[in-house]
Structure 1
Amino acid sequence: MDVELVGVSQSEFEQVFATVKQGLFPYVEAVFGWDDEFQRERLTCAYQPHWFSWILQSSERVGLLCCKPYDDALHVHLLIIFPQYQGRQLGAAVMARLHREAEREGKCRVTLSSFTDNQRAIRFYQRLGYKVIEGDQAFVSLSRSLVRK
């Protein structure tokens, strides 16, 4: 399955915010309480615009990805597949693409965090070979080693 990653433009902030809210609201609300103003500020200050990509399949937007490169790793901040496209292996296709890109760039691993209550996401990542490396009541951190080329 082929997916394309396309950069997000500055003018698309509202669509990005709406997508993040759609994907994370129940988990953020349960742990911290959702505050639109705080979350908007966090998205603009704690994340770089070039970390975001729209996920496209057959030129249609099917989700949003946010990942940050580190020297030896790639950290996935967000992988949101729109509800109407879930269950079609799109998330697995995106992650396979990220794994290939990270390997080509000489990264050792791909890391990510998930809300502990998002068991569906945690099971998804574990099926892809991710191991839980630490966790608490709110979050779990996962990592997958890569074969260096």
Structure 2
Amino acid sequence: MKIIETRDAQLMAKLGYVMQEKHKEMYPNFFKPYDEEAILHYFQERFKNPKQQVFLWIDDQQEREQIAAYLWLEEEAVAETVYRYGYTRLYLHHILIMPAYQGKGLSKKLLAFADNFAKERGISQLELHYWSDNERAKKVYQQLGYEVYTEVAYKQL
């Protein structure tokens, strides 16, 4: 595998299909149908911020190189409030393992990459969120030392 950074909004719009369909399958009343044009515009806007970075894991052992996974990171300053201290975090927006590469330990490699990325920049806190029904993700995050420090609840009326 080789790892490269991309700022290709068109590519991210195409890759967004896998992420959006998985979310829509899990929460059909919450997530919109896939809209490539909207996701393209969304990433064009995100990529204006140099602190938003996407890294691709490329399987270069295949006859034709394939994207195996991507990791979308953002270095973000969280402002101090009257209630809590401010801090800088590395926020993991998306961790996507393409279906053909799932179950092969790649998520642990992506998260180790995020750890090193943060350490190189002097960032001591990584944050991400995941859906409560995603038991697979929850298990991996717990194994790698992630702790839940907040939960969001909702009530449908």
Three-state SS of the structure 1 residue aligned to 2:117 is: helix
Aligned to 1:95: 111
| Count of aligned residue pairs for this structure pair | 136
Contact kept? 1:28, 1:34, Cα under 8 Å: no
Backbone CA RMSD of aligned residues = 2.9
Higher alpha-carbon Rg: 2
Residue identity over aligned pairs, in percent, reads 18
Gaps of 5+ in 2: 78-87
Contact kept? 2:75, 2:90, Cα under 8 Å: yes
Pick the structure with more strand per residue: 1
Map 1:39-50 to 2 at 5 A.
40=38, 44=42, 48-49=46-47, 50=52
Aligned to 2:59: 57
Contact kept? 2:74, 2:93, Cα under 8 Å: yes
Structure 2: distance between partners of 1:137 and 1:46: 31
Aligned to 1:74: 90
Structure with greater contact order relative to length (CA < 8 Å, sep ≥ 6): 1
Gaps of 5+ in 1: 139-149
With structure 2 as the length reference, what TM-score do the two structures score? Answer: 0.71
Pick the structure with more helix per residue: 1
- Bigger drift between 83-92 and 42-51 goes to 42-51
One-letter amino acid matched to 1:24: H
Aligned to 1:34: 32
Contact kept? 1:67, 1:75, Cα under 8 Å: yes
